[in-house]
Structure 1
Amino acid sequence: MLKSETEQHLIAALDALSIRKPYFSGAVSETLLNRYLESKPQPGCSSLTHREREVVQLIAEGRINKEIAGLLSISIKTVETHRASAMHKLNLRTTADLVRYAVRNNIVQA
């Protein structure tokens, strides 16, 4: 005898609960996943300030700190601080990593 969809969900839920596992129907799982993906902040780029993003873009374009400082009317030390902050936020170690990040996230064109 075929079980109704509701009975199948109920049995699956009881089986999961009997081994102390959560149970969500397909529709609930899909809704939870969609809400999570919609609310999940995008890594990296959105966590950068506007100025950090500008500095990352200019670094990726091949500018040196002195040039960036002149273009943005800030000190070289401030450029270094923005660069270090961006690299820390993005968990990057090298300038090459920073350039790769900028290209992959459309901050600069390759």
Structure 2
Amino acid sequence: MISIVIVDDHAVVRSGLMMLLDAVEDFSVIGEASEGNEAYQQVEEKNPGVVLMDLSMPHGKDGLSATSEIKKQFPETQILILTMHDDEEYLFRAIELGASGCILKNAPHEELVKAIRQVAGGDAYLYPSATKRLMEDYMSKLKNGATTDSYRLLSDREREVLALVAKGFANKDIAAQLVISVKTVEAHKARVMEKLQLKTRPELVEYAWKKGLLGYSL
């Protein structure tokens, strides 16, 4: 069961989302908040799996500030930004602060359900136009000679898999530890190798060591 806290300054929006999400079999809305300080309190008290966070809340702490504070204190809580702003400035800033993804408020119901499940599973989610813009920005930086740390492109789950693979755990052991299937582990590992542009396991181990993920020196 995926537990959810809804954060939005409009009571009607919160009510509508609550009815919508509670109707999904594996979802449970366990709290709501109208601004960032309330959101923090809800997370502290109820430990939800996912926070659906509005960005613009003029009558209290905004969504970006709340996201930053929540992720610092409760890193296991996944935050999905719900926004009206199809604006890369908001998108990039939210991701930098620890959000697992963003979805537009006018997205179809099915897409919202998909996004929540995706971030709850430790993966990132971006709406299609944001993904395109993020890649364009990334390619532009490469073209202009800017460097970027590919580690930032990994989801939380992919980072977990990276660390465990580098420490020598077999796929079945990683699957048991993370409570996912071996097939899912293999898919995460393939995405890690692709995003980091690594070809072999020794390269992966060296990368993890340089990142300080092994907890010991080679």
TM-score scaled to structure 2, two decimals? 0.31
Q: Which of these residues, 182, 185, 189, is aligned with residue 83 of structure 1?
A: 189
What is residue 209 of structure 2 aligned with on the other side?
103
Q: Which segments of 5 or more consecutive residues in structure 2 lack a partner in the other structure? A: 1-140
Measure the CA separation in 2 of the matches of 1:70 and 1:58.
12
1:15-94 alignment to 2 at 5 Å? 42-94=148-200
Change (3 A) 1:75 1:41: farther
Determine which structure has more spread, i.e. the larger CA radius of gyration.
Answer: 1
1:84-105 deviation line (CA, Å, top 9, x unaligned): 0000000000111111110011
Shift of 1:41: 7.1
Q: Which segments of 5 or more consecutive residues in structure 1 lack a partner in the other structure? A: 1-35
**Larger % of strand: which?**
2
* Matched positions, count: 72
**Larger % of helix: which?**
1
1:16-56 deviation line (CA, Å, top 9, x unaligned): xxxxxxxxxxxxxxxxxxxx9xxx67412111110000000
Paired AA for residue 207 in structure 2: Y
Larger RCO of the pair (alpha carbons < 8 Å, separation 6+): 1
